[in-house]
Amino acid sequence: MNRFKGLSISGGKVHGAVCLYSAHKHADTTVRLIAETEIAFEIERLDNAVDECAKELEQFTADVRERVGAAESEIFSAQRHILLDKTILATIRAHITTELTNAESAVARIFGQFEERFLAMSDMLLRERSTDIGEVRHRLISSLAGTRAGFNCAGLHKCSRGRDRIIVAEELTADMMVHMDSSRVRGIVTEKGGVGSHAAMIARSLGIPAVSGLRGVYSAVSCGSSLLVDGDTGEVFIDPDERFIVERIPDPDSFSDAACHLESPAGISVMANASSIEDVRNASTIRADGIGLFRTEILFLRAERLLGEDEQSDYYRQVMVAAHGRPVTFRLMDIGGDKELPFLRIEKEENPFLGFRGARFLLGNPDILETQVRALVRLCDQWTIRIMFPMIIDAPQHRKLVALVRGIVDKMGIDQSKIKVGAMIETPSAFMQIDEIAAESDFLSIGSNDLTQYMFAVDRSNALVSGDYNPDHPVLWSALSGIAKAAAAKNIPVSICGEMAGMPGMPQRLIDIGIKILSVSSKLVSRVRGELIVTA
């Protein structure tokens, strides 16, 4: 038995078989010249690969429609159409025949030409199609070459995307988290990725035991290896024997739900953070006091494309319905940092956490912003809607966003009182102008994950520097008190939606400094309430 010790990302213990995930993308294919006698063979390989990929995409379309939604599944059915496009396939066959090249290089060449053509188009939606063409090219070449990026279950006929398995990956990425079969993944083990990354948060909100920072683990296991993950201690054991498994995990199904019936103490709200309708349903089941943070960008990450106003509005409406009348704070898409949307083709940044993200991205993309705001404002026919701006850096930037939203509300002829706007305070500079920002907000919410990151110049996703990521630091607490005081002075509510709100011992301390709305992962709502009741 081999033992690895890393960083605990999400608690819980589990034993199971490994599913490998590789973020490695297929390398460009080099041209291999063939003899005329090989033409028929190469064309047959091409046709077989096309068949295989078409079946895969058909399966994905059905799976995603069932698991995520019809809108999200369209991406795969669109890609299947591209794959089966008669003109493109005929051009590839002609290329093999006339240029005498192998199928991989003909696919790379011809698909590449179509991709370039779409990329040069002025219409944004058409430009986005180039990403689909690129993905089809990649899929087809991987199939021809017998390699696959992403879930890489060697030996399994059909990749299970981690279903009933423990995923082992080089890196804990948001991309991996949204593409795995989240309802059935049993555990996650990675070489890199910090406790504050978005992928880590998703793992915690799903209640999946996870350990990171385990150098060498990826090459130490293979698909199907037996693994025991202890997310409480940060340990991982390869090939544990039966006796060890029973000692470590005496009763794998034990779960106490006694705490699920707790209510929040009077005057305190314990809300849930959510990234999907499923999360909102879970929050309603345990009667959380609302959704303090709905991360809308995850919708786009899952769909791998931009969604139109109707699609978004339908989705947000389902969120509101699932919340059963409790308030939901929708954060406008917070793109950038560790949440990349490759289809937007934002230039690769040296420092994405300091780059074109959050409020900057929204102001730089007024069309995307307007579509999302309109989709949300449409819900005012039934509810009062709360809209929150991510990564505000100062009062003028906040003012611009408020004006844009208010302008859209006016244009749509909706009563302004039906829309509440608020700023996330997650940069030191926003804190420095907190009075001005509070004066123009209906509410504030503290994003302590990013506030800690920027205050101490410590990358929240980097396990190497996690020792400096200290939610107990007095500097952070003096900022938290300052924000609470500014909100009280303007008589507006302030919440905290960063991970620290759910850490043992923190809830009461936050309440003591005047932050009475805590928003935590729904798995933690009951524990936080229990803690508050005990300390009351």
Q: Using H for helix, E for strand and C for coil, what is the string for 76-96?
A: HHHHHHHHCCHHHHHHHHHHH
Binding site partner of 448, from Mg ion, ligand PEP, none, Cβ cut-off 5-8 A by kind = ligand PEP
The C-alpha atoms of residue 497 and residue 482 are separated, in whole angstroms, by 17
User: Which residue of 426, 442, 459, 531 would you call a contact of ligand PEP, by CB under 6 A?
Assistant: 426
Sheet strands (E) in 149-287: 150-151, 166-171, 187-192, 210-212, 226-230, 235-238, 269-274
* 425 in contact with ligand PEP (CB under 6 A): no
Binding span for ligand PEP by CB under 6 A among 216-224, 408-416, 443-451, 462-470: 443-451
Q: Which is nearer to ligand PEP, 214 or 341 (CB)?
A: 341
Does the protein bind Mg ion through residue 447 (CB under 5 A)? Answer: yes
DSSP 331-395: EPP--BTTB--GGG-PPP-S-GGGSS-HHHHHHH-HHHHHHHHHHHHGGGGTS-EEEEESS--SH
Helices 124-145, 39-67: axis angle to 10 degrees equals: 120
C-beta of 199 vs 376, nearer to ligand PEP? 199
Under the binding rule (CB under 6 A), the answer on residue 137 touching ligand PEP is no
Burial of 526 (0-12, 13-18, 19+ CB in 10 A): buried
Q: Closest separation between CB of residue 337 and ligand PEP, Å?
A: 7
| Widest Cα–Cα separation across the chain | 83
| Footprint on residues 321-340 left by ligand PEP (CB under 6 A) | 334
- ∠ CA 309-314-317, nearest 5°, is 120
Kindly state the smallest distance separating residue 488's Cβ from ligand PEP, in Å.
21
Min separation Cβ 447 and ligand PEP, Å: 3
Q: Does 297 bind Mg ion (CB under 5 A)?
A: no
Q: Which does 497 bind (CB under 5 to 8 A by kind): Mg ion, ligand PEP, none?
A: ligand PEP
462 contact, one of ligand PEP, Mg ion, none, CB 5-8 Å limit per kind: none
Task: Encode 159-171 in three state secondary structure.
Answer: CCCCCCCEEEEEE
Binding partner at 139 among ligand PEP, Mg ion, none, C-beta below 5 to 8 Å by kind: none
Using the minimum distance from each CB to Mg ion, give the nearer residue, 103 or 479: 479
Length of the chain: 536
450 binds ligand PEP (CB under 6 A): yes
293 binds, among Mg ion, ligand PEP, none (CB under 5 to 8 A by kind): ligand PEP
The span from the CA of 126 to the CA of 305, in Å, is: 12
Window 262 to 301, contacts with ligand PEP (CB under 6 A) = 293, 295
**Which sequence positions are flagged as catalytic?**
198, 497
Element (H, E) at 122: none
- Residue (of 184, 146, 151) closest to 168 by Cα position: 151
Q: Does 427 bind ligand PEP (CB under 6 A)?
A: no
Q: Which is nearer to Mg ion, 248 or 295 (CB)?
A: 295
Q: Which is nearer to ligand PEP, 433 or 521 (CB)?
A: 521
- Residues 125-158: b if buried by 16+ CB within 10 A, e if exposed: eebbbbbbbbbbbbbbbbbbeeebebbbbeeeee
Nearer to ligand PEP, 334 or 459 (CB): 334
Interface stretch with ligand PEP, choices 78-86, 126-134, 155-163, 441-449 (CB under 6 A): 441-449
Residue with tokens 């599944």: 73
Q: Is 46 helix (H, G, I), strand (E, B) or coil?
A: helix
Task: Give the interface segment with Mg ion, choosing from 12-20, 266-274, 423-431, 515-523 (CB under 5 A).
Answer: 423-431
Q: Does the footprint of ligand PEP cover residue 447 (CB under 6 A)? A: yes
Is residue 450 a contact point for Mg ion (CB under 5 A)? yes
CB-nearer residue toward Mg ion: 450 or 499: 450
Measured between alpha carbons, how far is 489 from 501 in angstroms, rounded to an integer?
Answer: 22
Give the footprint of Mg ion on this chain (CB under 5 A).
426, 447, 450
Give the footprint of ligand PEP on this chain (CB under 6 A).
293, 295, 334, 426, 447-450, 497-498
